[in-house]
């Protein structure tokens, strides 16, 4: 009977697999048929609408249709910064676009530097004499940074503007590890390389606290300056300093309080907002005549109908976004082999006149970082100018790959530095003892069976790994010293794993000048003796798989955050504890499962787009991550 039951299960599994395969083939054929039809039709004239139901990223990751089909994982949309910014910039000069509308109800967020870039594009639309209107049920730090650049900010009457600033708690594991008998063997160089502190301490060290406070203060000062310049009438200082007093003056009506403080222009629901858009932009009522509708041009349709420039002299642009890992991976992950191959294959074609490396990464593997650096050096060997453009974060391994650049551009809110190296190996001799287990064995050399996670690592192995860490740090500081024209001793002083905001990084010589990707491309063109007006960016990258995204969209379940996520800021703040727990556990897993020697910045407050676990899944997630 067991054999028959097993055979039956096998047949059912085969049947399910065939059904899934047929469904994928069907939708693949449907996708191909739709693709043949050309670009989606958009209204000839109207207001450009950016409904950012997700996060703003440097490079979107491939979607996972299998997870969507199984309903095993929520789907959060990712919007490529350069596509969104290009659409908004295009709206300024496109006579058919009467204004720009941002719907931020389900906006998850993005890095501060990227948000500032989009805000500048919104400013250019306003300078062209066109209105920019923003709507949301509630605004938090990231969404309000964008909203401040609008000509008219709308808020739902039941909503609020809740601004918290950077900061918060971090999870420390030492007490738990002690209880379950896990001994983390930590190897590091850098006084401020606090990525390993959660495994060795119950709180942050004084050095880490000082560095983290400086970074948070610098980012918050830049945020305040950006908002104050974009919306000078906002009484920002008093609203941030005494939020409870301001709320008390309106009996707890936070929406009215936001209007009185000048943070918001109008209160109203979506119908009223839509009518205002039709009135201000002259876009006209929507074709269906629904209350609050207007002639809308989806930004995706505009982008599809206005491809990126492809004429002139090509300036190569390669994007290094996400965690730096060994091997190959799709977009959104900086895989060493994948990115190096992209660069080398493009160089072999001999068509680009300069190379711009766009970095938005907190680092990761030393070997993958070096593999990418070597590919960039090949461009220098071919006498091509190499320019670095830093996005939201270019730290640790992200800075390692920036060292070949002859010029480094960054934003004041870019997070960079973290010049330090660490490694960590968990050992379980204490856990075995608590369980009444033990381990023993034989050896032929001092390194036999090392790292021995059952009995603990040997002194010889510990010394060997520490020497490797110290050598990697010397290499790192040496690369930075030669690249930046600084004494290695000076690099060691500003290194030590310390994270710097872009403004200070420029003062201490880690960055050359402020500017975005367009500024870096223009500089690279001039360095190649090409007029910037005659140059165009040739993006050297793997595009996200269109079929995977199509299949994911088709199978997105109703419980995904894009459909049912709360839009009010109170619920979003309430979800922060679980989100932080999930982030902390994910960071722990990345450290524990990563390479033995890493150049990674976990201190960097990079944009986190993963939603919190739902339906009480936090406890199960913790137990799963701990292997219990």
Task: Give the domain CATH number at 241.
Answer: 3.90.226.10
Question: How far is residue 574's CA from residue 578's CA, in Å, rounded to a whole number?
Answer: 9
> Does 260 share its domain with 126?
yes
Question: How far is residue 591's CA from residue 424's CA, in Å, rounded to a whole number?
Answer: 7
Domain that holds residue 127: 46-166+223-305
Lowest mean pLDDT among 9-13, 365-369, 487-491, 514-518: 9-13
| Relative orientation angle of helices 112-127 and 81-93, to the nearest 10 degrees | 10
Question: How far is residue 225's CA from residue 227's CA, in Å, rounded to a whole number?
Answer: 6
b/e string for 209-221 if b means 16 or more Cβ within 10 A?
eebbeebbebbbe
Q: Which of these is catalytic: 98, 130, 185, 193?
A: 193
> Does 317 share its domain with 281?
no
Question: How far is residue 496's CA from residue 408's CA, in Å, rounded to a whole number?
Answer: 21
> Does 470 share its domain with 495?
yes
Residue where a domain terminates, one of 278, 305, 332: 305
- pLDDT tens digits, one per residue of 29-77: 555 444 444 444 566 789 999 999 999 999 998 766 555 555 544 457 8
DSSP 251-290: TT-HHHHHHHTTS-SEE--HHHHHHHHHHHH-----TT--
By three-state DSSP, how is residue 185 classified? strand
> How many alpha carbons fall within 13 Å on the CB side of residue 366?
19
> Does 398 share its domain with 481?
yes
> Does 294 share its domain with 395?
no
Question: How far is residue 195's CA from residue 12's CA, in Å, rounded to a whole number?
Answer: 46
- pLDDT tens digits, one per residue of 178-226: 999 999 988 988 776 677 888 889 999 888 898 899 999 999 999 999 9
Tokens representing 210 are 């000082």
By three-state DSSP, how is residue 184 classified? strand
Q: Is residue 363 part of a domain?
A: yes
The whole model's pTM is what? Answer: 0.84
- In which band, very low, low, confident or very high, does the pLDDT at 401 lie, cut at 50, 70 and 90? very high
> Does 527 share its domain with 409?
yes
Mean pLDDT of 527-533: 97
Q: Is residue 424 part of a domain?
A: yes
pLDDT surpasses 70 at 561? no
Q: How many CB atoms lie within 10 A of CB 326?
A: 17
Q: How many CB atoms lie within 10 A of CB 71?
A: 13
Q: Is residue 626 part of a domain?
A: no
Residues forming a β-bridge with 356: 317, 387
Active site residue 396: yes
> Does 255 share its domain with 137?
yes
Lowest mean pLDDT among 17-26, 118-127, 142-151: 17-26
Q: Is residue 4 part of a domain?
A: yes
> How many alpha carbons fall within 13 Å on the CB side of residue 492?
10
Q: Is residue 150 part of a domain?
A: yes
Q: Which of these is catalytic: 365, 369, 389, 396?
A: 396
H or E element in which residue 299 lies:
helix 299-305
Lowest mean pLDDT among 38-52, 134-148, 426-440: 38-52
Q: Is residue 445 part of a domain?
A: yes
Residue where a domain terminates, one of 286, 305, 324: 305
| Helix, strand, coil percentages, rounded to 5, for the chain | 45, 20, 35
Residues in Cβ contact with 463 at an 8 Å cutoff, skipping those fewer than 6 apart: none
CB 605 within 8 A of CB 572: no
> Does 505 share its domain with 372?
yes
Q: Is residue 612 part of a domain?
A: no
> Does 478 share its domain with 518?
yes
Question: How far is residue 477's CA from residue 486's CA, in Å, rounded to a whole number?
Answer: 10
Question: How far is residue 234's CA from residue 238's CA, in Å, rounded to a whole number?
Answer: 10
Question: How far is residue 9's CA from residue 1's CA, in Å, rounded to a whole number?
Answer: 12
Residue where a domain terminates, one of 281, 305, 329: 305
pLDDT surpasses 80 at 386? yes
| Predicted pLDDT of residue 243 | 87
CB 358 within 8 A of CB 317: yes
> Does 276 share its domain with 325?
no
Q: Is residue 564 part of a domain?
A: no
> Does 262 share its domain with 386?
no
Active site residue 193: yes
Q: How many CB atoms lie within 10 A of CB 279?
A: 10
> Does 55 share its domain with 94?
yes
The total domain count for the chain is 3
């Amino acid at each position: 009977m067991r054999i028959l039951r097993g055979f039956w299960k096998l047949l059912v599994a085969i049947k399910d697999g065939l059904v899934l395969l047929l469904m994928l083939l069907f939708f693949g054929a449907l996708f191909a048929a739709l693709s043949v039809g050309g670009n989606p039709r958009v209204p000839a004239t109207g207001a450009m609408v950016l409904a950012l139901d997700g996060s703003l990223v440097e490079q979107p990751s491939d979607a996972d249709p299998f997870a969507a089909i199984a309903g095993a994982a929520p789907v959060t949309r990712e919007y490529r910064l350069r596509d969104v910014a290009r659409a908004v910039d295009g709206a300024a000069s496109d006579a058919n676009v009467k204004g720009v509308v941002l719907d931020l109800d389900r906006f998850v967020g993005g890095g501060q530097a990227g948000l500032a870039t989009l805000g500048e594009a919104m400013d250019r639309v306003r300078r062209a004499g066109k209105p920019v209107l923003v709507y949301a049920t509630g605004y938090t730090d990231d969404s309000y940074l964008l909203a401040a650049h609008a000509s008219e900010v709308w808020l739902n009457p039941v909503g609020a503007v809740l601004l918290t600033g950077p900061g918060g708690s971090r999870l420390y594991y030492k007490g738990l590890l002690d209880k379950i008998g896990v001994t983390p063997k930590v190897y590091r160089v850098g006084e401020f390389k606090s990525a390993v502190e959660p495994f060795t301490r119950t709180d942050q060290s004084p050095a880490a606290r000082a560095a983290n406070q400086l970074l948070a203060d610098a980012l918050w000062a830049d945020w305040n300056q950006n908002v104050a310049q974009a919306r000078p009438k906002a009484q920002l200082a008093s609203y941030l300093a005494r939020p409870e007093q301001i709320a008390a003056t309106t009996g707890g009506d936070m929406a009215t309080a936001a209007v009185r403080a000048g943070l918001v222009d109008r209160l109203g629901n979506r119908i009223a907002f839509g009518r205002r858009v039709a009135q201000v932009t002259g876009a006209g009522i929507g074709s269906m005549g629904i209350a609050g509708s207007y002639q809308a041009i989806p930004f995706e349709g505009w982008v599809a109908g206005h491809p990126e420039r492809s004429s002139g002299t090509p300036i190569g642009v390669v994007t290094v976004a996400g965690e730096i890992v060994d091997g190959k991976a799709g977009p959104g992950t900086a895989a060493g082999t994948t990115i190096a191959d992209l660069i080398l294959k493009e160089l072999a074609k001999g068509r680009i006149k300069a190379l711009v490396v766009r970095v938005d990464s907190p680092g990761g593997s030393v070997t993958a970082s070096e593999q990418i650096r070597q590919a960039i050096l090949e461009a220098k060997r071919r006498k091509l100018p190499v320019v670095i453009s830093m996005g939201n974060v270019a730290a640790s391994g992200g800075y390692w790959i920036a060292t070949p650049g002859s010029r480094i551009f960054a934003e004041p809110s870019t997070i960079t530095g973290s010049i330090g190296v660490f490694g960590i190996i968990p050992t379980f001799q204490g856990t075995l003892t608590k369980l009444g287990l033990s381990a023993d064995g034989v050896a032929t050399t001092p390194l036999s069976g090392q790292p021995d996670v059952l009995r603990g690592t040997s002194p010889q192995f510990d010394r060997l790994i520490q020497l490797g860490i110290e050598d990697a740090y010397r290499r790192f500081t040496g690369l930075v010293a030669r690249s930046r024209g600084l004494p290695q001793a000076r690099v060691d002083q500003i290194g030590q794993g310390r994270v710097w905001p872009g403004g200070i990084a420029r003062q201490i010589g880690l960055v050359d000048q402020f500017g975005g990707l367009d500024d870096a491309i223009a500089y690279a063109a001039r360095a190649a003796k090409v007029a910037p007006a005659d140059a165009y960016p040739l993006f050297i990258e793997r595009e996200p798989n269109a079929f995977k995204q199509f299949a994911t969209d088709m199978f997105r379940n109703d419980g995904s955050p894009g459909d049912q996520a709360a839009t009010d800021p109170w619920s979003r703040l309430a979800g922060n504890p679980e989100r932080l727990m999930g982030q902390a556990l994910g960071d722990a897993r990345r450290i524990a499962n990563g390479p033995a020697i890493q150049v990674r910045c976990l201190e960097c407050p990079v944009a986190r787009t993963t939603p919190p676990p739902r339906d009480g899944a936090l406890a199960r997630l913790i137990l799963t991550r701990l292997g219990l």
